[in-house]
Amino acid sequence: MKVEFTHTVEDFILYYRSRRIVRAARRGAQLKSRAIVRSQKNAVLVVAVTLFFGGLILSLASALYLAFVSSLIWFAPAIVIAFFLAIMLLSIILSLTSVKGIRRQFESDPTNKLPSSAEITDAGLHFATPISRSTIMWPGILGVVSLPQALYILETEDLAHIIPSRAFSNQEEMKTFAAEIESRTHQYTAV
């Protein structure tokens, strides 16, 4: 079975955002696809809400202490609002700079944009581009993580080959591809 695709920067951003999920799946955690997708979509919101409430509690406590100690009761709301805005701005900046770095890294390597193919062979999983070819032998594949947007073929905990779902004609073909890889890797991992 052979699939062809071209990577986009969104494939790399998705992998960056889902690395913890991929690592958890690699360790054998049972994850539901719906929960994974939901957690990816809401990751920034969860961080922002956590920072908001943590910052709000801290700023309220310090503002009230300051107000009662130095009789500056009018100053307390200003401190709360300023601290909240600073935390929100910091979380937005951190989120944007990490995505910007991924984009810069993707754009700096022209080989990322070349058409690619992945083929299941008897020897292993064969990847090819117009300028390179490589085969990962079956014992070298640690596992496969299937998300609705992509398949991740894991060589190590931090190295995954990304096959986007658009390389497949439908989700069923993607599941079949992943199942074939899993069946071939499991015969080597029963040591």
Residue type, 13: I
- Using CA atoms, how far apart are residues 126 and 68, in angstroms rounded to an integer? 69
CA 106, 108, 114 angle in degrees (round to 5)?
A: 65
pLDDT at residue number 38: 46
Q: What are 131's two structure tokens?
A: 């300028």
Q: What are 189's two structure tokens?
A: 């991992």
Q: Tell me how far the alpha carbon of residue 168 is from its chain's centroid.
A: 20
Those residues with Cβ within 8 angstroms of residue 87's Cβ, 6 or more apart along the chain or in another chain: 51, 52, 54, 55
Average pLDDT of 18-28?
A: 59
Average pLDDT of 35-60?
A: 61
pLDDT at residue number 22: 59
Report whether pLDDT(115) > 90: yes
Neighbouring-strand partners of residue 181: none
Report whether pLDDT(173) > 90: yes
- Using CA atoms, how far apart are residues 167 and 174, in angstroms rounded to an integer? 8
- Quick check: 155 and 136 in contact, CB under 8 A? yes
Q: At what angle do helices 76-108 and 33-70 cross, to 10 degrees?
A: 140
- Tell me what percent of the residues of the chain surpass a pLDDT of 90: 19
Those residues with Cβ within 8 angstroms of residue 48's Cβ, 6 or more apart along the chain or in another chain: 88, 91, 92
pLDDT at residue number 126: 94
CA 82, 85, 89 angle in degrees (round to 5)?
A: 140
- Quick check: 181 and 125 in contact, CB under 8 A? yes
- Using CA atoms, how far apart are residues 169 and 118, in angstroms rounded to an integer? 14
**pLDDT range class, residue 13, cuts 50, 70, 90:** confident
- pTM for this predicted structure: 0.59
Domains of the chain are 2-8+111-189 (2.30.29.30), 35-108 (no CATH)
Strongest mean pLDDT among 85-94, 105-114, 167-176: 167-176
Tell me the H-state helices in 27-170: 33-70, 76-108
